[in-house]
Amino acid sequence: MTFRRSPSPLSASRRRRFAFLVFAIANGLFLLNRSHAAAPAQAATGAHAGQPKSTKVANPLNDLLNDAQHAIDTSNFEGAIPPLQKFIAEKPDVAYAHFQLAYAFTALHRADEARAEYERATSIDPKMSEAYLNLGLLLTEKDPAAAVQALRKAVELLPAQSRPRLLLGVAQERSGDFPGAANSFEGAVHLDPRDTDATLHLARLYLQLKRPADAESKFRAVLEAKPDSLEAVGGLAECLDAQQKPEAADAYRKYLALQPGDAAMRARLVHLLVEQQKYDDALAELDRADAGKKPSTDSLLLRADIQIAQKKTDDAIASLQGALALTPSDPKLLNGLGRLYLEKRDFPAAEKTFKAALQLDQSNLMIWKNLSSTYYLSGNYPATLGTLDVIAKVEPPTAASWFIRALCYDKLHQIKPALEAYQKFLDLDAGKNPDQIWQAQQRSKVLKHQLEEKRPSR
């Protein structure tokens, strides 16, 4: 949840408090100018029968506040600024005026000026909880650490209210204080268990903190109050998924029934169904997502993954070809398609595809290794050695690569390089692959014998 909201106007009780304050100011001014004014306010009400009535004395400063309030009430925030500034010029130590001016600045997105006025209001009246709340809201997005300070004060002044704790938790979460945020959200929920906003924030934070069981209970609490809460339905699915509970798939389906366009959640459901080896169900979900429109690259890749799991190589090739039609310059897609051709032992198609991938990304060693495997399996041993040389310039040859080198040299009847490569393999393998070790040892004996036979007799 983002908090880009304008501060709320003063509560009725707060307005009454400031109305009393304005009345006190007005009486003070009357007393200072008593010789030039009519009778006291008491006489203006006609409280004593038989006394002549007096007209109520207008107070210019009080009128300025009234004008500002009227402008704010009608959303004319620009119009509220001049009367408030005039009032402050005469009475700079009235917190209410600074608060109202800050409120107008906030509504006009003049954040720096609003911040200064809220801070001035709190310095004049350190118990002005509304100013701390609005200051915290103003700062939460751009300066969450400063927002935390203001909102801590609001919580201190309003200990029985859940909303300040919720706002404090949001600021703490944004500033990276996750334990503190959890504590604030928990406090808000404790004060008002029906506050679904606070419960949702707490559930989301539990999920982020890898506490899916705790998050699940909170999401379920929200759903008891709001059965169709989209965030709670989706969050519950994620919690069940994280706990590997079998009902996670149904939870995802319920969410997608409410929000069918959420591609990320549908993808997660498809992956979950694949993990559960429910391949037909996974394809059905993709069909629902693609109904009435052309499949996206992501959808086609998911479809290919499912078809590979089903060992439907031809179908997977068709899906990847469709993805490449949409994203033709993706070397990873080409590499994946090449591997499928390699699996089918369609070596010409695999070679062509890997070479196309390398034209897009010459530095991708995985593609070079796949091309090397293609050359070897198709019997092109010189090309295999050439790709192994390219790979060796980037990373030291492994035992496996030395074994392939040895086999290539052996097939090409290059006895001495073959012997050297077999020995490199034996030195590096350290007994991990006994079948290859036996083969290397036996071929080495034969090659040594052949080498001895080729030596001229003395």
pLDDT for res 451 = 87
Backbone angles phi, psi at 314, to 5 degrees: -60, -40
306 has pLDDT over 80: yes
183: in domain = yes
Within 209-343, where are the H helices?
212-225, 230-242, 248-258, 263-275, 279-290, 297-309, 313-326, 331-343
404: in domain = yes
Backbone angles phi, psi at 197, to 5 degrees: -60, -50
27 has pLDDT over 60: no
Domain containing residue 165: CATH number: 1.25.40.10
39: in domain = no
How far is Cα 101 from Cα 93, in angstroms, rounded to an integer? 13
Domain that holds residue 446: 396-452
Show which of 148, 166, 192 is a domain's final residue. Answer: 192
184: in domain = yes
49: in domain = no
202: in domain = no
Q: For residues 135 and 150, is the Cβ–Cβ distance under 8 A? A: yes
Sign of the Cα pseudo-torsion (249, 251, 252, 254, in order): positive
Q: What pLDDT band is residue 59 in, cutting at 50, 70 and 90?
A: confident
Q: For residues 47 and 40, is the Cβ–Cβ distance under 8 A? A: no
Show which of 145, 167, 192 is a domain's final residue. Answer: 192
pTM for this predicted structure: 0.64
Residues 6+ apart with CB under 8 A from 131: 95, 98, 99, 102, 118, 121, 122, 125
Show which of 168, 192, 216 is a domain's final residue. Answer: 192
How far is Cα 306 from Cα 311, in angstroms, rounded to an integer? 9
120: in domain = yes
Q: What is the mean pLDDT of residues 285-293?
A: 86
169: in domain = yes
Residues 6+ apart with CB under 8 A from 455: none
**What are 61-116's pLDDT values in tens digits?**
899 999 999 999 999 999 999 999 999 999 999 999 999 999 999 999 999 999 99
Domains: count for the chain? 2
In the chain, % of residues over pLDDT 70: 87
**What are 144-201's pLDDT values in tens digits?**
999 999 999 999 999 999 999 999 999 999 999 999 999 999 999 999 999 999 999 9
